[in-house]
Amino acid sequence: ETADPVGEGGQIVAGTAPGFPPFEMEEGGDLVGFDVDLLEAVVGETDYELSGWETFEFGSLISALTNGRIDVIAAAMTINEEREEVIAFTDAYFEANQSILVASGSDFQPEELSDLGGHPIGAQKGTTGEGIIQSELIDAGDLEESNYNAYDNYVLAVTDLENGNIDAIVVDVPVAETFQQERDVEVAFEYETGEAYGFGVRQNDDQLREALNEGLAAVEENGTYEDISAEWFNT
């Protein structure tokens, strides 16, 4: 039931899940962000053509890829074994850990994961942040399942955090830092996970994966990767 591979040099459709700044956001009806610029630059180095972007909830991206709605995922998706059972990834293009966000000036100032026990907390459905809440807190018996709130995207989670409906969010560090600049939330602490993001492709799409890897190496070599980083990160 996996869709056919894209022919060599064919047209590809990219999929992402906006609401994850600065990697992918919808601004005035336009899809923008680091992943958008990076994938476009990478594909530009190959003989494939990017015909457009489709947006999904994060948790639907993998099935959209395997069923052929899209040909590549560019969604700050962490490369991990569970996902590699279903799809393939390019080489890593970004490294990240997780952050725990609380409301700005909150009395609740957790310092480690177990401090989140007994508090209503949130993450985006299908993310590695959700996976940590499950494995490190719920499975460990530190958090009641009913205290975990699964959101369609992190923008909704941040709004609930600002409103006091939840006490903390688990989200990738660069995204937490962006929300900290733009919204009434702050990073309480970081939790090291050593994640690396890759572009996702179908397992039968070796040619496309190799072309994207070459494109990635080229944009890293020719300074384009650095230019795109400078545009989206205050580094």
Shortest distance in whole angstroms from residue 85 CB to ligand ARG: 15
Provide the phi-psi class of 105: left if phi over 0, else alpha when psi is between -120 and 50, else beta.
left
Residue closer to ligand ARG, measured from CB, 123 or 143:
123
Burial class (CB in 10 A: 0-12, 13-18, 19+), 76: buried
Which CB sits closer to ligand ARG, 10 or 125? 125
Query: Can you tell me whether residue 201 is helix, strand or coil?
Result: strand
Specify the DSSP element, H or E, that contains 194: strand 185-197
Q: Which residue has the tokens 């070796």?
A: 206
For the CB of residue 141, give the shortest distance to ligand ARG in the complex, in Å.
24
CB of 147 to ligand ARG, least distance (A): 20
Residues at the interface with ligand ARG (CB under 6 A): 16-17, 20, 23-24, 58, 75-78, 124, 127-128, 172, 195
Residue 195 CA, distance from chain mean position: 11
CB 216 → ligand ARG: shortest distance, Å? 17
Q: For the chain, how are helix, strand and coil distributed in percent, rounded to 5? A: 35, 25, 35
**E strands in 66-182:** 72-73, 88-89, 94-103, 121-124, 148-151, 168-172
Using the minimum distance from each CB to ligand ARG, give the nearer residue, 16 or 46: 16
Q: Closer CB to ligand ARG, residue 48 or residue 154?
A: 154
- In the bound state with ligand ARG, the residue whose beta carbon lies nearer, of 78 and 213, is 78
Q: How far is the CB of 223 from ligand ARG (least distance, A)?
A: 26
